[in-house]
Amino acid sequence: MTAAPRNVLLMVADDHGYDLGCAGGAVHTPALDRLAAEGTLFTEAYAAVSSCSSSRATLYTGLYAHTNGMYGLSHDVHNFSLRDDVQTLPWMLKQAGYATAIVGKLHVKPEILLDYDAWLLPERPGHRDVAAMAHEAGRWIREQGGRPFFLTVGYSDPHRAGDPTQFANTRDWPEVPRRRYAPADVRIPSHLPDLPAVREDLAHYCEAVSRLDSGVGLMLAELAAAGHADDTLVVYLSDHGRAFPAAKDNLYREGIHLPLIVRSPQRQAGNLRCRAMVSWVDIAPTLLDWAGVATSADYRYAPLPGRSLLPILETPDPAGWDRVFATRTFHEVNQYYPVRSVRTRSHSYFLNLEPALTVPVAGDVSLSPSWRAILATPDARLGRRTLDAFLHRPAEELYDLADDPDEVVNLAADPAHAGALEELRAQLAAWRIATHDPWMAGVTDPFGPAH
């Protein structure tokens, strides 16, 4: 008797913050809500970096961006790239006999290491035809017959589209019921001020999120129509936070706290919320675990730093999942500001390696109506944070998340919190050594003499 294939569908949104109807958000996301009801919603899931290419590279390699070499954006003049000896999910799964394809956005270089068999409907600027993406993906799935497949769907929504004041909401898209949002009805996140321009900007963002949700629904319908709803591990997540000030390209909570939904055919029950603190470095180990594929013993980067999520899909509060790390070096090539961070249930700690620099603002954010309105409004704040505190940061930041979930009151110099500071300093230093951080002071070969 032939074993059923163990297929994988990985859906990656672009700039979708933790905005889900099922999580109490004001945005309409029925398809994602239904997926969460059928699977596990991780309520404390975090990207390991809040920048497009770097985050996607983490998903595809299971390695932190300072380890895999994807320090910033891959496209155009930025030209950051994976190290040439890194192995990727499509390559590893292909070696195990999987058919592999990506639909839409890739945004990682070099493409030769992202060894997909097919790249369907590559991303086009401003083009958000989520129905065409779903139908092309469905056609490819049906062509594979009984061969196991790994399909990545790289959405461009809800990224800003071309003109940073827009989110590709300037036209109707096929098979997508257009859902508009009134600025008065949007919910202002805690990292943004309540200004008219910010509200209007958020209304456009919410429309793009709803279009994304329609695309997810169409994709899941294609998977079911192809007969693979019951043999496919489905994972939905976003690369980083929404493209608004103090979210995208920041390691504060709004930049890296994101939706993660996993639906496994082996789940006994759905609609489960898991509070484990999980990271995007856990995604590759999860998919490899599902496929029964292991990294080779002589792989330079083995073992991968993450863990499979499969054993905790039905455990609301698993033990030992109480800490995540994050990294930032570049976004665009001229936006150097290296940061390393650790986040626990009680505290977040940030080590800013070049505190004399002004914190850069991602290009699409800096040209957005929200950022322009903030700059034009005297004494405007980013939530409770002053603009100066956002742009100019000390070498260390320490926040008590129980009293200060918005990460505003820096306790790094407070003697009453010296114990927590020392503990998190030590944890971060050990992690940087273990993950071969080239930015470790005095380290010229982070892999040691053996390499």
pLDDT tens digits, one per residue of 211-254:
999 999 999 999 999 999 999 999 999 999 999 999 999 999 99
Name, in order, each residue with C-beta under 8 angstroms of 416's C-beta and a sequence gap of 6 or more. none
Radius of gyration (Cα) for the chain, nearest Å? 21
Q: Which of 22, 52, 206, 274 is catalytic?
A: 52
| DSSP string over 135-160 | HHHHHHHHHTTTS-EEEEEE--TTS-
The residue type of 435 is T
Report the alpha-carbon distance of residue 87 to residue 358 in Å, rounded.
35
pTM for this model (two decimals): 0.97
pLDDT tens for each residue of 303-355:
999 999 999 999 999 999 999 999 999 999 999 999 999 999 999 999 999 99
Q: Residue 271: which pLDDT band, with cuts at 50, 70 and 90?
A: confident
**pLDDT score of 449:** 54
Is residue 52 part of the annotated active site? The answer reads yes
Average pLDDT of the chain to the nearest whole number: 95
**pLDDT score of 441:** 84
| CA distances to 36, 209, 223 from 271, in Å | 6, 21, 20
